[in-house]
């Protein structure tokens, strides 16, 4: 299923994250407004601006310092169809942006369908091994 993203960043949460914007970039200080600007620019550079909407709004985590980001994942409508506002999945980066290797991961991790895990081969069953003491 092709996807489109609605990325929400809260301007009301103070705080700064230090991250590279793209892999290989130098880390820079990003507040909520800078994150919105950079995510919009990333979507343009990657040629996915028609599938990525970046907006200001509540992203959750209001009790702590941000910046916080949430991502709603929607199916991409077929040609000629209107898009709906029903998310099929979502992900939040509330208090977790510093764990990313770069800001571009917010788009990359969510825009493409995750790869299916390999199917198990049929065959004899194997007893699970438990650590000692279980």
Max CA separation in the chain (angstroms): 60
Q: Please check whether residue 72 is in contact with residue 24, taking contact to mean a CB–CB distance below 8 angstroms.
A: no
pLDDT recorded at residue 114: 55
pLDDT recorded at residue 17: 94
- Which comes out higher in pLDDT, residue 59 or 39? 39
pLDDT recorded at residue 120: 44
Tens-place pLDDT, residues 47-94: 999 999 999 998 887 777 779 999 999 998 888 888 888 899 999 998
Name the residue with tokens 């970046």. Answer: 54
Q: Please check whether residue 79 is in contact with residue 30, taking contact to mean a CB–CB distance below 8 angstroms.
A: no
C-alpha 24/C-alpha 122 separation (Å) is 43
Strand partners, 75: 3
- Look at the chain and count its residues: 134
pLDDT recorded at residue 113: 62
pLDDT recorded at residue 14: 82
């Amino acid at each position: 299923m092709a996807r489109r993203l609605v990325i929400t960043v809260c301007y009301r949460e103070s705080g700064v994250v230090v991250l590279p914007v793209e892999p290989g970039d130098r880390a820079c200080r990003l507040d909520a407004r800078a994150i919105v600007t950079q995510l919009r620019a990333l979507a343009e550079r990657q040629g996915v601006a028609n599938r990525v909407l970046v907006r200001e709004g509540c992203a959750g985590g209001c009790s702590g310092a941000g910046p916080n980001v949430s991502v709603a994942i929607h199916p991409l409508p077929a040609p000629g169809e209107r898009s709906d506002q029903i998310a099929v999945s979502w992900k939040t980066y509330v208090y977790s942006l510093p764990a990313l290797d770069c800001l571009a991961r917010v788009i990359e991790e969510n825009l493409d369908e995750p790869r299916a895990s390999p199917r198990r081969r049929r065959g004899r069953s194997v007893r699970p091994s438990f650590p000692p003491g279980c």
